[in-house]
A and B are shown apart, each in its own frame.
Chain A
């Protein structure tokens, strides 16, 4: 067999393995090993498999991921997220669909302290969804809002997906972080507008919520809610001023979250143990995929698939290339896990981007936006699965995917705006530096 044929057979093998519920990282890694063996012989296969794990994972930049995960877990375990939702509710309760909008607002705020959209969705599905269902909200709207606004965490820095992207295309993490702020706020605003409009046109979706909280309770809620935005402010400030690298801001944020938990008397040994083991296990699970994908990327490269793919893009303008890539990524996003998509595609796309002189920061925001759409689009939407898992039988998967559809349409509009107006992404990082 030719190398290209083996490569395409490998892609088929991976889909088969993932289909029979082999862990994604294992599927990619083992296909890569046996694929390289088939193409080049056993010695190179062993050589590549030996070379990658330690050097890939032993990377200072990647350590931002466990730090931001830890910060998110501590925030959830110390119930800092609950306060956030409660406080957002006070302000937004009166507008139509106020609870759903509160979810978006609180998720955006928490997203600025958490690197993982799945973690954000998980946190708010336990807090916000029961409250909305009790208030007779449409289950699709309730769960859709949580699933979609969870994705804000990937777009609003810090973001695990952004770190992975930057490592893959070799560009500045902090610059991309800054570039995500305005698109994140734009998306959150668009979500809230959409929710409000829909609920005004169809009041049955979200019966008016009767706010029973007393003034004293409101003050208590606000008092409960302020620390997390403060942590966010420090973390973002550190990144914006360049005082901290990504890892450093993660460590500082996690440290501050621990301090707050301690000050609130919510830090105990059991909670700390849960947070650290969840962080370690979560980091391990993510990086097993990263490792598998890194091996698979070598297999893809050796199989000359990048050249083959680049052949398709020959002779198109930069804009057409960007739009074609977007379409491909949306399609892949429907059925694949997001980090794996980036690990698979970026090594292929990076030379193409360079060839067309496409701005890596702007393109990075587009990629992250596409990935956030993938997180909620059927049939494989990680955020949707997390919500389904934590709610059990109260909602069906179809209801959630149905509710999410509206948010995906908003996402696509925002995406179009991001493509049409690169300034939305590039203005803020431009403020950081004088000449870039």
Chain B
């Protein structure tokens, strides 16, 4: 279970990373097309918004959770004894699990609804958007699993990710 979660966490993280590259190339091609050939790539804005941004933000959620990369405020945390720190970490994890689970559950409903009505957006091209909506529940639910594992199993349940800093 831990191994599988770790594999999935890495997989979704890398897909999100590749999305960053795709976004760059796609926009570059559009820019070159627009200025050099008077032929912008139709639907660039729609695809970037509906697919690349969504993938880039929601797929790495589990990775960010595992790497401890969520942005937190540590003013109080730094000043309390280790026992209290441990309690705070667990409490914070519990709040996070509830929040991600709620968002995951709702976004699953949104995604299946979009799929049933074959959701599209009207642009110069009609872009089908429902597959992008499934990225949200995947991201949220994997984050839930990552946090649950470390809540229940402690250190044994910790998902490892490459340890470079997530400073932004």
Q: A-side interface residues toward B, CB under 8 Å?
A: 17-27, 29-30, 33, 46, 49-50, 53-54, 57-60, 62-63, 66-67, 69-70, 116, 118-119, 122, 243-244, 247-248, 250-252, 254-255, 258, 273-274, 276-289, 335-337, 379-380, 385-386, 389-390
Contacts and interface: CB of A to CB of B under 8 A. Distances in A.
Given A20-B88, A26-B95, A252-B28, A284 B64 contact: yes
Interface string B30-50: 110001000000000110111
B98 to A, nearest CB: 7
Contacts of A288: 57, 61, 64, 70-71
Interface string B65-77: 0010111111111
Given A21-B89, A280-B19, A335-B75, A53 B27 contact: no
Contacts of A279: 17, 20, 56
Contacts of A24: 70-73
Contacts of A385: 74
B72 A23 contact: yes
Contacts of B99: 26, 29-30, 33
20 contacts: A19-B75, A20-B92, A26-B100, A30-B99, A50-B106, A50-B109, A50-B110, A62-B53, A70-B24, A277-B13, A278-B164, A279-B17, A280-B17, A281-B166, A284-B57, A284-B63, A284-B64, A335-B75, A380-B75, A385-B74
Contacts of A26: 70, 92, 95-96, 99-100
Nearest to A286: B168
Q: Is the interface of A mostly helix, strand, loop or mixed?
A: helix
B23 interface: yes
Contact of B59 (A23, A250, A278, A280): A280
B103 A49 contact: yes
A21 B31 contact: no
B60 A243 contact: no
Q: Is the interface of B mostly helix, strand, loop or mixed?
A: helix
A54 B53 CA distance: 10
B60 to A, nearest CB: 4
Interface residues of B, number: 66
Contact of B102 (A22, A33, A252, A285): A33
Contacts of A289: 71
Contacts, number: 211
B52 interface: yes
Given A53-B103, A285-B70, A277 B165 contact: no
B107 interface: yes
Contacts of B17: 273, 276-277, 279-280
A376 B63 CA distance: 28
Contacts of A273: 17
Given A50-B110, A60-B45, A284 B73 contact: no
B76 A285 contact: no
A119 B165 CA distance: 11
